[in-house]
Amino acid sequence: MSVFTLILLTLPVLFIIISMYLSYRGVAKRGRSRKSAVVRQLISFAAMVIFCVACPLVASAAGDEATAAQAVADNSVGLQYIAAGLVTGLSGIGGGIAVCGAAPAAIGATSEDPKAFGKSLIFVALAEGIAIYGVLISIIILFV
């Protein structure tokens, strides 16, 4: 592995660490609003995603025609992994948000009436099912 490849692999991690540090420093030390910190985080994340997608595309376009077909095949496999990761990540986030709302309500209902435990557990399990569906779809994306 060359030094250039190692630098390209560590750059996204550095983007995230630096943006998190700057956001923390802006909110905790300087008293800026959290909304502006979240916006800065989203902008830096978008810049990192663009960088991570653009670098391999530019590098594959710079090759000759013999390697262009191989680069297209490599890009499609890479996009397949990106799609599987997005499906799993977004479904996990959605399932977490759903459980965040359903679990406290289930605990409250159970504390008032212990017979409501089974009914309330169903709603929490349905919310967790969202994440499981995401994992199944990502497996389908990767192996079909």
From first to last of its 144 residues, the chain has per-residue pLDDT tens of 577 777 777 877 787 788 778 778 878 777 777 788 788 888 887 887 787 777 766 666 666 555 555 655 666 777 888 889 999 999 999 998 888 888 898 889 888 988 888 888 888 888 889 899 999 999 999 888
Q: Based on the domain organization, do 58 and 73 belong to the same domain?
A: no
For the whole model, what pTM was predicted?
0.52
Q: Based on the domain organization, do 78 and 105 belong to the same domain?
A: yes
Q: Based on the domain organization, do 142 and 71 belong to the same domain?
A: yes
Q: Based on the domain organization, do 80 and 28 belong to the same domain?
A: no
Q: Based on the domain organization, do 87 and 139 belong to the same domain?
A: yes
Q: Based on the domain organization, do 35 and 86 belong to the same domain?
A: no
> Which of helix, strand or coil describes residue 62?
coil
Distance of alpha carbon 94 from alpha carbon 97, whole angstroms: 5
Domain that holds residue 51: 1-62
Domain end (from 62, 92, 107) = 62
Residue 137 is part of a domain; what is its CATH number?
1.20.20.10
Q: Based on the domain organization, do 50 and 119 belong to the same domain?
A: no
Q: Based on the domain organization, do 71 and 58 belong to the same domain?
A: no
Q: Is the dihedral of CA 136, 138, 141, 142 positive or negative?
A: negative
Q: Based on the domain organization, do 46 and 85 belong to the same domain?
A: no
**Domain total for the chain?**
2
Distance of alpha carbon 15 from alpha carbon 54, whole angstroms: 15
